[in-house]
Amino acid sequence: MGCKGHDFYLKQCLKLAKAAVKHHNMPFGAVLVDKNGKIILEQENIEITESDCTGHAETQLMVQASKKHSKDFLKDCTLYTTVEPCAMCSGAIYWGNVGRVVFGLSEKELLKITGNDEQNPTLALPCRDVFKRGQKDIEVIGPVPELKAELSQIYQDFF
């Protein structure tokens, strides 16, 4: 990967999460980075409705990535996201064939912030556990403690 560190890409995810809030959506953001460190896709959460629950940033990013890039190309990419991918998003990442995931906050840390808020009914199913059940070797890095306070703040403000 290029010379930029994880914090650079996670801060870009945070910008997308803040944009999602401005668009009246949940505060989550994700970016896809190629093997050279270039951001090739960005996605904020989109509206989640009664008839479509798939507006998560990571799932929507994988919809785009799967249409634009081959599985061989995606294997060398890294998906960065503000919070650990949920089970749905982890499945999309797995099926899309992304080789590495880096997240800022764990799902467990998010749960401490959101509690039982009905807007974010977390699953106690870490992405590492989802990926272990599959046949692909997906590297997972996170949570990234250097950005915990900065990332936590947007969720504390929102929830």
3-class secondary structure, 128: helix
Catalytic residue among 58, 84, 107, 109: 58
In a 13 Å sphere around the CA of 31, the CA atoms on its Cβ side amount to 19
Distance CA 87, CA 125 (A): 7
Is 58 one of the annotated active-site residues of the chain?
A: yes
* C-alpha of 84 from chain center: 6
Distance CA 27, CA 155 (A): 7
DSSP label at 2?
-
DSSP for 82-118, written as a single string: EE---HHHHHHHHHHT--EEEEEE-HHHHHHHHTT-T
* Residues designated catalytic: 58
